[in-house]
Each structure stands twice: as C-alpha cells, then as structure tokens.
Amino acid sequence: MIANRGEIALRAVRSCRALGLASVSVHSEADRAAPHVWLADQSICIGPATSTQSYLRADALLHVAKETGCDAVYPGYGFLSENAEFAAKCEAEGFVFVGPIAGTIRDMGDKSKAREIAMRFDVPVVPGSETAFVSATDAEAASKEVGYPLLLKARSGGGGRGMRVVNKAADFGTTFADASREAESAFGDGAVYLERYFEEVRHIEVQVFGDGAGNAIAMGERDCSVQRRHQKLIEEAPSPALASEVRERIITSAVDLAAGIGYRGAGTVEFILDPTTDEFFFIEMNTRIQVEHPVTEARVGLDLVDLQFRVAGGETLPNLASIIQPGGHAIEFRVNAEDWSNGFTPSPGRLKKWRPPTGQGVRFDSAAYEGYQVPPYYDSMIGKLIVHGKDREDALAKARVALDGFVVEGIETTAGFHRRLIDHPDFQNNRVHTRWVDIKAMKELT
C-alpha cells in the first residue's frame, strides 16, 4: 500500500510495477483524478480533501492495507513517513514498513535524543541544550549556557516549523512561546530545544542506506543551502563548498551514525557547515526518503525508491564500488505552485498549459498534467526539475535552457524565480548560505 499522494506516490507505484509487486494506492476526494490513482492495481478513497481526514488517518490506512491483502506499507515523504506510532502499528499488524523500525524513527525524531545518540558515535553536534523544554522559564535558564544568538528548534518534526532565532535575552520568552505554539500545532509536541546559532552556514546532507543489521553505506552528499524560511528551494551534488578531506570526514560521520544505530532503509544525516572554519555539526536525521533524492540518483545511477523496496524485502545493500556511477554534477529545483513575485503566496488552480522541460541531462518528476487541478489542501510542490551535467557549469547551462523552455499557464510557479536565481553572481560563485535568499536574494530578484 502506498500511503501517500502526488509525485512520490506515483514514483512508488511505478517502482512496484517494475519489481513485479501489486500496489494499492489511497487517495482523498480531492485526488480522484491523480495519476497514482490510475496506475495502481487498486485505489481506495480514504476521506475528504483535508489531510487530517485522509492521508494522516492511520486507522483508515491500516484498514485499507488489511482489507486489500497488502503485506507492506510504503510511506514516502511527509504525512506519516516519520511517525513512529504509525510505523509501530504497521509492525504490530504484521506489515513490513518500508523504512526504519519504529524505535529508530522515535529516537531520531526526538532531536534532543538524536543529539545524544550522535555524540555516542563521536559525531560532532551543535553546542546546545542537553534536553528539550516545554517551560519557557527552564529554557531561558539553559539559554545562558548556550549563549546568544541562539536557535530554538522543535523537538519533533522539521521543515522549519517551530524554529526561531533569538538574538538577545529580552526576546527569549516571547519567541519561545511562538516556537512552542507552532510546534504543538504542527507536530502535537510543543517541546523545544536550544542550539548555538551560526549566522552564515551551509546545509549539507548525506544520503545513507542501512540494512538494519549494522551495515550502512553513503551515496555522497547534497548541498541544500539555498532555502527560504528554512524551506529548501534548490539542492545540488556534490557540494561546491566541501574540500575533499572535509567531504570524507562528513560522510564517514554519517555512515558511523547509520551503522551504529542499525539503521534500515533510506535516510539522510544532516549537518551544518561553517565555511570559514570547515567545522561541521550534526543537526538531525531524516528517517525517510528525501524530496531531493533524485540529485543522488543522477550521480550514483541507482533508483533509490526501487532500492527502498529491495532492502525492505531483505536484499543486501549494493556494492557501490562495483557500479559504474555517472558522477558529474546534479541540481534539483523544486517547482511550487506559488506566486514568487508576490511573497510566494499559494497559487492553486487548473493547469491550462503544462509543458515540462525535456532533453539530455534533464529530468522532471511530477504527478501534474495539462488540465490537472492543483488542489489548495497540500504542500505546494508540483514538480522537481533535475539537471545533470559533467560539472557544475554544464549543469547550470542545462538548467537555463530547461527553465527558459518550461511552459505553464493557469497558475503561478517558482520556475521564474529559479531562472533568475541561478544567474545571480553569488549563486554562480558559490557565495550562498542558508539565510542568503531571505536577507539578500529576495530583495535583489523581486
């Protein structure tokens, strides 16, 4: 059963077909015309449009899995993919959860617990509080040891929700309350922990796979530093910010962590890098496939969704040394249904024209099509443009052609923003950081 929607659900159904697995898709009433509904062997409506009444209903999902005779559940990314309780229920009902075991999701989803685990395997962590807090008073006392500026981060979840920067002690109480309230609303957990805040850092993540028996491999790193309000916009590999020696150390740290916890399936170990000192620090582990996994696929030459199913089915990890890997440079652009020139406001609606780019070294992953009604109920991402070239310059040249030829009518998208951004001198010359879009690029591109 494919417990998701959109591009990742379509991708999973295709992988099932390629592997000879029967698939059951689920959909909300708003997604009746979605491609993952057509392509699956069976498709079941699980509720109204809103995700809380459909894709987030663990009981309904498990009922569908039982009634249709499924033996495995694929969570994709988002929704219940990092919900330890859902994974535990799948396990208890006898389903294979295509991902890590519930205990791993629970431990690594608790950011303060994940810090403790990382330190156990000598993975450097950002200086911060040893625990998470629900009391602003207790948290403020701990903030004196961390120092200012500091970063408040939700213990559960991600995507920038429950995250706030505090520049001075006078602002702590109000900012903590805002972060805790948002975390409670988004994840049902208002606990927040504290980290030292670095003004300008790169966001580096390492793609790992584990077999659940203590063996793990890494498939290189991705640079996800181009973000807006903690939401990734562009990802590329390899990172243009890493020296070879630093790359080796950061990848080794990721593998040590994944192997040490007996990780199973696809995961991402995330770090921040201080480019002035080449120091890197563990920030979290995402216990699922990432939106940006095609960047790694382009360079490694493996289908990572296919590999998720294979590993879940008990197959051994691939020997990367025996694979002819394409290498080169890959960049992914997240195409969202948003009006970027108007504060990135959502832009749902019907696609009157839809001509995604094609060409050598160009890939476009999407579940959208001409005539498709982009719903307003879910994440605004409607596609991912991935370009692959022999080096970064070649990849950017292909990206310019692809973005120039991308035809969309009926809604606004972020494609135009990406086209302008890649010509910005800072991006071309690798002078970006996680706050670059917010504090500089937005002002110069809009």
- Catalytic residue check, 288: yes
Say if residues 279 and 317 touch (Cβ distance below 8 Å).
no
Residues 6+ apart with CB under 8 A from 336: 344, 380, 381, 382, 413, 414
Helices (H) and strands (E) in the chain, counts: 16, 21
Structure letter (DSSP) for residue 377:
S
What are the CA-CA distances from residue 57 to residues 45, 48, 86, 213 (Å)? 12, 11, 10, 31
Length of the chain: 446
Please work out, in degrees rounded to the nearest 5, the angle formed at the alpha carbon of residue 239 by the alpha carbons of 427 and 260.
145
Tell me the HSE value of 379 on the side-chain side, using a 13 A CA sphere: 18
Say if residues 290 and 77 touch (Cβ distance below 8 Å).
yes
- AA identity, residue 421: L
Rg for the chain (alpha carbons), in Å? 21
Site of tokens 């990172």? 239
Catalytic residue among 106, 288, 334, 363: 288
Q: Give the distance from CA 182 to its chain's centroid.
A: 20
Q: How far apart are alpha carbons 269 and 430 in whole angstroms?
A: 22
- AA identity, residue 261: I
Q: Give the distance from CA 189 to its chain's centroid.
A: 20
Task: Report the catalytic residues.
Answer: 288
